[in-house]
């Protein structure tokens, strides 16, 4: 089996960071091989989801991704377990999952492969991926606060601005304000608040989602109408620019599946167009959608095209 190291110009041998795993991480992280796969992954996933990380000592991006996954396993406090598969030592397992590049991560839940991704994602995207399937144990306070009553975005903006003036040290209020500004159609103001967030909140799943929403909205500035884009694509199915904008319009105008189909069409037939623009659009779309089933289905379709 031939494997490549994902998104890296070259892979270098490195001293294993696994020697430095903390005791806390060891409670939630384990090695997978053919001997324990059925018990520790398939059966265990019936009660606790298992995130399976396919890696190798010679893979540079694995060195970036691995510690982040272990950090999140500790933070999630047993909401999922992280299983590590050294592909050089377990080629049979890698072949069973159809692994062709590393790092690749798969989420197994209830004995079934539920979702997955390839490459060393940024921490914010990792958090977004996990948030669709599991929640940290004992961390209810981190959930997004619910707004009671019929507060509209303008009212929320006014309330949050007053709360920030009274408690400027509460940075989380500024993220809430950025979200309210975006809901009120004030993209520039939302982006300004987002850019001013401290580092710990910049990687919050809500901040990552807002950033993706802003990027998608910016793409439509000055773009043709939905009808014109449909006509362009019908006249020339290889008009990738029109297909890309059509996908964004459909995504933001309440037909997300149709929008995702446009990005998949580009990925299948012109993967390298616009420096991998279709893959970037798909990842941004996944970060904005609330439908976990839809996202999981299209993540798998994207993975089948990439690998």
> How far is the C-alpha of 116 from the C-alpha of 307, rounded, in Å?
12
Beta bridge partners of 31: 84
> How far is the C-alpha of 78 from the C-alpha of 90, rounded, in Å?
25
Is residue 65 classed exposed, middle or buried when 0-12, 13-18 and 19+ CB atoms within 10 A define those classes? Answer: buried
The 3-class secondary structure across the chain, one letter per residue, is CCCEECCCCCCCCCCCHHHHCCHHHHCCEEECCCCCHHHHHHHHHHCCCEEEEEECCCCHHHHHHHHHHHHHHHHCCCCCEEEEEECCCCHHHHHHCCCCEECEEEEEECCEEEEEEECCCCHHHHHHHHHCCCCCCCCHHHCCCCCCCCCCHHHHHHHHHHHHHHCCCCHHHHHHHHHHHHHCCCHHHHHHHHHCCCHHHHCCHHHHHHHHHHHHHHHCCCCCCHHHHHHHHHHCCCCHHHHHHHHHHHHHCCCHHHHHHHHHHHHHHCCCCCCCHHHHHHHHHHHHCCCHHHHHHHHHHHHHHHC
State both tokens at 171. 């940075």
Supply the residues annotated as catalytic.
59, 62
């Amino acid at each position: 089996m031939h494997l490549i190291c994902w998104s890296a110009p070259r892979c270098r041998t490195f001293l294993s960071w696994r020697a430095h795993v903390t005791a806390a991480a060891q409670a939630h992280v384990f090695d997978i091989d053919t001997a324990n796969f059925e018990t520790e992954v398939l059966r265990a996933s019936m009660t606790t989801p298992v995130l399976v990380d396919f890696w190798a000592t010679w893979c540079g991006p694995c060195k970036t991704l691995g510690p982040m996954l272990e950090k999140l396993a500790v933070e999630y406090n047993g909401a999922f377990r992280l299983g590590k598969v050294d592909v050089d030592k377990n080629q049979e397992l890698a072949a069973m999952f159809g692994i062709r590049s590393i790092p690749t991560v798969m989420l197994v839940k209830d004995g079934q492969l539920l979702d997955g991704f390839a490459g060393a994602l940024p921490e914010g995207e990792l958090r977004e991926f996990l948030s669709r399937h599991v929640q940290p144990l004992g961390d209810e306070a981190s959930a997004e606060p619910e707004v009671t009553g019929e507060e509209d975005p303008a009212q929320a903006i006014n309330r949050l601005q007053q709360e920030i003036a009274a408690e400027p040290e509460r940075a989380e209020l500024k993220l809430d304000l950025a979200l309210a500004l975006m809901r009120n159609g004030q993209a520039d103001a939302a982006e300004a608040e987002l850019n001013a967030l401290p580092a710990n909140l910049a990687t919050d799943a809500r901040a990552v989602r807002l950033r993706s929403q802003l990027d998608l909205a910016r793409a439509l500035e000055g773009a043709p109408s939905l009808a014109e884009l449909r006509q362009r694509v019908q006249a020339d199915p290889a008009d990738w620019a029109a297909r890309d904008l059509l996908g964004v319009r459909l995504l933001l105008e309440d037909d997300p599946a149709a929008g995702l189909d446009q990005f998949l069409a580009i990925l299948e037939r012109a993967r390298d167009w616009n420096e991998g623009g279709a893959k970037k659009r798909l990842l941004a779309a996944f970060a904005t959608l609330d439908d976990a089933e839809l996202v999981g289905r299209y993540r798998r379709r994207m993975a089948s095209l990439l690998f």
